[in-house]
Chains A and B, each alone.
Chain A
Amino acid sequence: MPDTPILLREQQYHQIKAVLARLRMDSSARVVFLVDKDGQEIAVQGEIGNIDSTSLASLAAGNVAATGGMAQLIGEKEFPTLSHEGEKESIHISVIGRLLLVIVFDERSTLGLVKLRSKQVSQQLSSMIDEITRADFEASDSPFAEITDEDIESLFN
């Protein structure tokens, strides 16, 4: 079945950002992203600089989807972590339920440290995500519940 919409409340968003900020410090990472498996960026923490975070989120999701497809072809459920090491910058991705934790790090950190720290917070993030997705999506919650045809039309003028 398709996933239900993710509705992120302000307080939950700040809780997630706080966890990502600590993870970023503990792992000496450059930037930490939480991305949904469909490629939507949920939250980001760190030195974004020139990184196009929207594209990175989409490509990280595509990457996990493609390797997940390969995993299934060889009889695995999925590959829970992916690492790409570059000359200066590297990326580590861990799958946490329907979300992806993406960590970009450079020579100030190591793959071992990043793996260790991301594993340590994955349980905490997982429970937070469960709470968010368990909450019923009430129609009245949507800011679009009372949107009019004129509102929609105005977007295209």
Chain B
Amino acid sequence: MTFINYASREINCKIVYYGPGLCGKTTNLQHIFEATAPQARGKLISLATETDRTLFFDFMPLELGTVRGFKTRFHLYTVPGQVFYDASRKLILKGVDGVVFVADSQEERMDANVESLYNLEENLRAQGYDLMKLPYVLQLNKRDLPNVVPVSDLTAELIRKQEPIVEAVASTGAGVFDTLKAVAKQVLTELRKS
């Protein structure tokens, strides 16, 4: 949910990274954190288990710059990917302005991608949102691994509308900022429409 503060001249928007367990949602945020100047971002908060699996969420505020005299700040969240954390995923989608679905390109994770995407649509509906109307980007992650599904097959299975599709290797940072840019642009364009 967008928050516009005229006194501090700030606009805050919420973007959520969604996807199956171990697809690289946290890695996306870690790369953005490492590659961004400290004055443009806050702390990266990770509520994770002892084995670094996301337990509740990761969070990082990111300031993109000023538009028309207003600071544009994005709050980036990830959800826990593991199936049994569904209650947490629902909570994190509350107030979302844009979603990135991070798909794991490996052949053996295809079913997990499909299940997670259905789960996203269902949980958005439960919060009163419609994926078809929400700023949304599909990221095809882990493109550097040997056992990946061809892009055309992944796209055919996972595409939902005319969403931008970005190939990525989050561990090296490839495609990470392209993904963020694609979703942030849609969120700002929505603000113009509203």
Contact = CB atoms under 8 A, between A and B. Distances in A.
Contacts of A9: 6-7
Interface in B121-160: 127-129
A62 B47 contact: yes
Given A142-B194, A144-B188, A65 B91 contact: yes
**Among the interface residues B127, B188, B194, which one has the most CB atoms of the partner chain A within 10 A?**
B194
Given A13-B7, A38-B94, A62-B91, A144 B65 contact: no
B87 interface: yes
A55 B61 CA distance: 8
Sorting the interface of chain A by its residue count into under 10, 10 to 19, 20 to 34 or 35 or more gives 35 or more
**Among the interface residues B59, B69, B181, B193, which one has the most CB atoms of the partner chain A within 10 A?**
B59
A74 interface: no
B4 A6 contact: yes
A74 B138 CA distance: 37
B5 interface: yes
B88 interface: yes
Given A9-B6, A39-B14, A142 B191 contact: yes
Interface string B1-34: 1111111100110100000000000000000000
Contacts of B94: 37-38, 65
A40 B73 CA distance: 11
A108 B5 CA distance: 32
Given A3-B95, A38-B95, A142-B4, 5 more contacts: A39-B75, A65-B94, A66-B88, A69-B87, A154-B65
Interface of A: 1-10, 13-14, 36-40, 42, 52, 54-55, 58-59, 62, 65-66, 68-69, 137, 139, 142-147, 151-152, 154-156
